[in-house]
Structures are given as C-alpha cells and as structure tokens.
A and B are shown apart, each in its own frame.
Chain A
Amino acid sequence: MCLGIPGQIVAITDEARQMAMADVSGVRREVSLAPVALGPLEDLVGEWVLIHVGFAMAVIDAHEAAETLEALRGLGEAQETLEQMAEGAKALEDQ
C-alpha cells in the first residue's frame, strides 16, 4: 500500500502552517512539511522528499541512494567476472 513518490521542494508557501510547493516531474502541488520539519523550513528547499497524501514523509538521502546503486554496479561487475570465468572454463573444456 501507501503510494509514495519523490518530489522536490521548490518553495515555502506558508511558514506558519509548514506548507511548501513540491514539484513532481513538472507537476506542482502544495504539501505539508510537518513530518520533516526538524530544522528551519528554508533548509528544505531544493531537497527531494517522499510525498504521501500531501505530506512530505521523509527527506530522501542522496548518499544512501547512491550506495544502493553502487552496490548494484558491484554486483554487475562481479557477474561479468563470473560469466568470463564460466566462458574461460568452457573454452578450456572445449580444447
């Protein structure tokens, strides 16, 4: 359940109510920053957040995202090595 989508905070619209404008692929919608308002709201402008039912529920951690993708790249390289080894073994067998 729980449709959540990444969007970027582009402006604070109502400081008192902790509201901000978020951009999702060029579509804009006002969202509440209440769940992620640990510091000054202004600091959140430019951040990517995970939006659910009109609330920014989490600030997306760019570093963690990069690490996840990096792990995949590592897996891809390992796989290539495995494939090369398999090919090498096959070539030896064929001889």
Chain B
Amino acid sequence: MKDTIMPLRDQRVTLAHGGGGKAMRDLIESVFTSVFNPPGMEDQARLMDARLQEPGARLAFTTDSFVVTPVEFPGGDIGKIAVCGTVNDLAVGGAKPLWLSASFIIEEGCEVALLRRLVASMAREAAKAGVRIVTGDTKVVNRGACDTVYITTAGVGVIPPGRDLDARSIRPGDVAIVNHVLGDHGAAILAARGDLMLSTDLESDCQSLGHLMEALIAAAPGTKAARDATRGGLASTLNEMAEAAGCSVELDEIALPLRPEVKGVCEILGLDPLYLANEGTLVVFVPEAEAQAALAAMRAMPEGQGACIIGRAVPKAHVPVTLRTAFGGTRIVDMLVGEQLPRIC
C-alpha cells in the first residue's frame, strides 16, 4: 500500500511540512519512515512478542524528552541520546527493551540534512540496542519556538518472570559499581556549547546499556537495583537510591573514575564532577559476594570496560550519601540544588 517515496527537494523544514498535507507526508516518508521502516503505516503500532506471553512477565513502559544544545556534539547527537536514554531507562529497571516511539518537534528552518543525520543516528543506535522504532509523530513550530529540534521517545520492554530490580532491596554491605568514567557527557556538552570557549577531546559517553544489564544480571543474579546517572549526575542518582533503600551510601573518593580532562573542565569552571550528567553510565548495587562476578561480566563488554567499585551501602545515617576523601575526611554529597553554574570563586 506504500506509495513510491518521492525524494524531498526542500533543504529546510517549513511550516508547510507540519500542515498535515502532502508536504508533511513527503517529509515523514522521505526522512523518517523510509529509515525507521515501521511495521505498517497505521497511526498505531500493532506488536507481538512471545516474551510478553510468558506467565509472570511484566510490561515496562517509559518516556523521556530530549533537549540538547548543540544537537550534534562529540560522541553523539540528540537522536542517539533519544534512543539511548529511553533504552537505558528500561534496561536499568531490568527490562529487555523492545520498541520505541519517536516524536519530533521541529523548528521552522531546521535543515533537512540535519534531520536525516539524526534519524540515521537513531536507526543505528536502535539496531545496536536491539529495539525497533515502531511509531512516531512530527510537528513543526515557528522559528524561535523551539531550538532546532526536540525529540520525545517512549519505550516498551518486557521484564522476564521473577526479575525484580528495586532500590528498596538494597542492604548495608551491598557494593556500588559504575560501568564507565563519570561526567564525560556533561563536560563534553559544556565544551561543545562553545560559549565558555573551552576545547577538549572529550566525547559524550552516550550509549545503550541494555546488553550490559543482561550480562550483569546473568553473572550477578542477586543484583539489587541500577539507575543511569543522567541529569544531576551520580550524586543525585545515589541520593534517590539511598532514600528509596532506607540506608546510606558511602563513596570512596579515590575510587571514583574520572578522566583528567573532566577534572580539568571542573577545575576551570568550579564544578563538581559528581553532578555532571552522564548518558551511558549506570550505577548498580550488587551483593558483595557477587561483586567480582559482576565486575568481570561488565568489563567483558565494551560498555562496561571501565567498571569499578565506587562505594557501598551502609546502615542509614543522618544523610543519604557521604564521600570519604583521600585523607580519610568525610563530606556530604547532597542532591544538586538548581543547576550547576560555572563559578569564579
């Protein structure tokens, strides 16, 4: 029933492409559906997966909106993040990610070539993560009403029977492991934005973590809970987990993996790397007995080569997260207040 796809001649998106008529159809078919190749062209995706039929299997469902300046940056782009972010939200909950939707708010004047690059990047990342982009939407808004393009993805996955990752199950003694150095994404974006005139070779850590989670759970079946340390960084993520768990977390400053360049960006701007965003870094709590198995399984995967223990759960103290400094001092690692601003003093 598919019409022949006409190559889109326009170089830039105009309001006509959001008008619901032929121009819109041309844009959608030429730029989006020809690449994502969804199953059928109805307004809904109709999907089957044998894993959903298993008794005790649960459906996992999540959504996230993506707004990044600049839309293309070292190590990724807004399209890649839109896939990884939603895949990761499913994966860290123990779900096998299956399907995504993708909705685009496009600013009038956005280059069609840019959209094509973003869509190709999404398709690539989806294939890598083993998910399909099965439905979507586009809207075009007036110039200035959004910044180039915003993407919202929703994701559906399946949690196998018997699997129940939950921060409330974390107990004192469980160890906290991360898969990757911290803060690469936040630091790379700060530099890429250009207004601070910093140049680095840093790349975003943007990556899908579904396969890593599967390997981890296979090696460490007692895995308690995982979260991806996105906005607010590791510090905010750990505060949330500790509060849910009803225990505290003690980090070891010496064990925190940080690239020199990330430290450099933080020193220059007076920022704390624990609050920098990550897009492919998770923190997972596993029982101490399974820690070595978990580390080995993670390190065997490209996404987990930097896996290391950064701290452990301890009995509930006055504050959720503390950090043992290199000198044996302690300090509180609080939730982020507002956003981190560069400072001079």
* In the complex, A touching B (Cβ < 8 A): yes
By a beta-carbon cutoff of 8 Å, the part of chain A in contact with chain B is 1-3, 5, 24-30, 51-53
B267 within 8 A of A: yes
Stretch with Cβ within 8 A of A (4 or more), from B60-68, B196-204, B293-301: B196-204
Q: Bound state CA distance, A29 and B263, in angstroms?
A: 14
Q: List chain A residues, Cβ under 8 A from B199.
A: 27-29
Q: B186: shortest Cβ distance to chain A, in Å?
A: 13
Size of the chain B interface, CB-CB below 8 angstroms: 18
Q: List chain B residues, Cβ under 8 A from A52.
A: 344
Complex partner residue of A24 from B197, B201, B268, B270, CB under 8 angstroms: B268
Q: Which chain B residues in 318-345 approach chain A with CB under 8 Å?
A: 343-345
By a beta-carbon cutoff of 8 Å, the part of chain B in contact with chain A is 191, 196-201, 260-261, 263-265, 267-268, 270, 343-345
Q: List chain A residues, Cβ under 8 A from B197.
A: 29-30
Q: Bound state CA distance, A1 and B343, in angstroms?
A: 10
Instruction: Decide: B267 and A24 in contact? CB cutoff 8 A.
Output: yes
Of B191, B196, B198, B268, the most chain A CB neighbours within 10 A belong to B268
Q: Bound state CA distance, A29 and B267, in angstroms?
A: 13
Q: List chain A residues, Cβ under 8 A from B201.
A: 26
Q: List chain A residues, Cβ under 8 A from B263.
A: 25
A-B contact pairs, 29 of them (CB 8 A): A1-B344, A2-B344, A2-B345, A3-B270, A3-B343, A3-B344, A3-B345, A5-B267, A5-B268, A24-B264, A24-B267, A24-B268, A25-B260, A25-B261, A25-B263, A25-B264, A26-B201, A26-B264, A27-B199, A27-B261, A27-B265, A28-B199, A28-B200, A29-B196, A29-B197, A29-B198, A29-B199, A30-B197, A52-B344
Instruction: Decide: B268 and A28 in contact? CB cutoff 8 A.
Output: no
Instruction: Decide: A26 and B344 in contact? CB cutoff 8 A.
Output: no
Q: B42: shortest Cβ distance to chain A, in Å?
A: 50
Q: List chain A residues, Cβ under 8 A from B260.
A: 25-26
Q: A1: shortest Cβ distance to chain B, in Å?
A: 3
Q: Bound state CA distance, A25 and B196, in angstroms?
A: 16
Q: List chain B residues, Cβ under 8 A from A26.
A: 200-201, 260-261, 264
Q: A28: shortest Cβ distance to chain B, in Å?
A: 5
Q: Bound state CA distance, A5 and B270, in angstroms?
A: 10
Q: Which residue of B lies closest to A6 (CB)?
A: B267
Of A25, A27, A30, the most chain B CB neighbours within 10 A belong to A27
Q: B47: shortest Cβ distance to chain A, in Å?
A: 46
Q: Which residue of A lies closest to B259 (CB)?
A: A26
Q: List chain A residues, Cβ under 8 A from B268.
A: 5, 24, 27, 29, 51
